[in-house]
Amino acid sequence: KKMGSQSISSIFNPFMKEQTKDILHTEFNLRKGLDMNEFSLYYQPQVNCVSGEVEGFEALIRWRHPEKGIIPPIEFIQHAESTGLILPIGEWVIEQAFQQLESWSIQGITTCTLSINISPRHFLHEKLLPFLKKCLRTYQVAPQQFIIEITENVAMGDYLAAQKRITDLHELGFKVSIDDFGTGFSAFIYLQHFAIDEVKIDRQFILDIESNRKSLGIVKTIVDLASLLNIKVVVEGVETEAQLQLLQAIGCKTIQGYYYARPLPTGEIEQWLHARSV
């Protein structure tokens, strides 16, 4: 709210840049949103387009702002990352995901994986492993059902630390996925030196796949390479039947996109699953 940002701003000099003010404003609101329990996770299915089986879900954060309505992550994750608030938010996401997996298992939904997004700053943070261990002790969830999505850019920070972190996560039983594969820093280095379980092909390679032979070629190359290296591939952002058919023809199996479902809140996702199985 207005008052809060003014009280924070007044500590600083009046020549403070507008941008800084915005960041403080956002930080204050983010913190308040966290305290007021305004965040929620939406879940988007990942479907095997050959068997029709639902293999898993990706958890995607939403901020239900009391005045502004639902705010998408693109509008606040960057701020959260730069202010450090990504830590409490990321821990909230992890715990929420554990609770959801436990609740699904009670409802008999036991074979699905759940993927979560962890920001580079949180991924390399010393608190990540202790927090995950605590959740493993608290919730009846197999770590193998949990997939941790990171972007290629984590290795830009500290290459060796990122490598070590992936090994530690594997030792705990978690799987690790590279999100937006091919769009960031040194994609091939990841395949060569990092023990990753999955790559997610970014929507930007799918968008024009019907008209741009290069896009189809890139996707096919990633799929073939991943298969050779025994790495699972998830294709993101599939919206149309035509895209799906092209992807199927080059060997893609796991599909995540509006074609099957948009991200849905808990409750609706169980309905969606139920409607598919009857």
Contacting residues for 185 by C-beta, under 8 A, at least 6 apart: 152, 153, 155, 156
In sequence order, the β-bridge partners of residue 236 are: 256
Q: How far is the CB of 127 from Ca ion (least distance, A)?
A: 21
Among 47, 49, 54, 77, contact with ligand C2E (rule: CB under 6 A): 77
Helix (H, G, I), strand (E, B) or coil at 13: coil
Task: Write the DSSP string, 80-125.
Answer: HHHHSTHHHHHHHHHHHHHHHHHHHHHTT--S-EEEEE--HHHHTS
Give the whole-angstrom CA distance, residue 237 versus residue 206.
7
CB of 24 to ligand C2E, least distance (A): 21
Binding mask 41-70 for Ca ion (x = CB under 5 A): ------------------------------
With CB under 6 A as the contact rule, which of the stretches 67-75, 137-145, 166-174, 187-195 interacts with ligand C2E?
A: 67-75
For residue 148, report the phi and psi dihedrals to the nearest 5 degrees.
-100, 115
User: Does residue 237 touch ligand C2E according to CB under 6 A?
Assistant: yes
Minimum Å gap between C-beta 247 and Ca ion is: 16
- Nearest distance from C-beta of residue 259 to ligand C2E, angstroms: 6
Residues 150-209, interacting with Ca ion (CB under 5 A): 179-180
Our finding on whether 117 is near ligand C2E (CB under 6 A) is yes
Question: Considering only residues 121-180, where is the footprint of ligand C2E by CB under 6 A?
Answer: 179-180
Neighbours of 78 (CB within 10 A): 14
Q: Is 95 in the site for ligand C2E (CB under 6 A)?
A: no
Q: Which stretch, 9-17, 137-145, 156-164, 230-238, contacts ligand C2E (CB under 6 A)?
A: 230-238
- Among candidate residues 157, 141, 137, the one with its CA nearest the CA of residue 109: 141
Angle at 32 between CA 27 and CA 37, to 5 degrees: 130
Residues near ligand C2E (CB under 6 A) are 44, 60-61, 72-74, 77, 93, 117, 119, 179-180, 203, 236-239, 256-258, 263
